[in-house]
Amino acid sequence: MQTASTEFGDGSNAEVCNRGTVATPPTDSGKKAVFSSILFGPNSREPVKIMVEVPPIFRDLNLDRIVTAIIGGKEEYDLAPFFYTRLRTQEQIRRPREITRDLQNVTLVNPVKSFSDRMRLVHALKKGQAT
């Protein structure tokens, strides 16, 4: 897997990665953690430019407000870059739609919600904020 932090000609900063992975900022140990997103799929051939800044057109069309409303209450997941990221191939467009459709199935979404709730608890315990 190749990963490179890049500033693009449009002034945006992003991580460019193969196979839908995102290299995160260095951890306390100084190493970069690598997150593999299910959104881009394991067979993604095109590097994905994960946008970490709001694209100017989002502000022009008030899409930044829509994204803020969608991710409200879920800030700890840092979801905004996934909304800002431009999808360039049919596979990159199709994959998130398939995942969204799959998560409409209660049989699948309940275990995902349970996992998410437990991860939230783990993060809260780690920060000393759990009740």
Please report the pLDDT score of residue 2 as a whole number: 37
Report the SS3 class of residue 32.
Answer: strand
- Burial class from Cβ neighbours inside 10 Å (0-12, 13-18, 19+) for residue 85 reads buried
Q: How far apart are CA 4 and CA 105, in angstroms?
A: 37
| Residue type at 111 in one-letter notation | P
User: Model pTM greater than 0.75?
Assistant: no
Please report the pLDDT score of residue 36 as a whole number: 60
Q: List CB contacts of 7: < 8 A, sequence separation 6 or more.
A: 13
- Our count of domains for the chain comes to 1
Q: How far apart are CA 131 and CA 125, in angstroms?
A: 9
What does the pLDDT look like over 75-98, one tens digit per residue? 878 889 989 988 888 888 888 889
> What domain range is 92 assigned to?
3-127
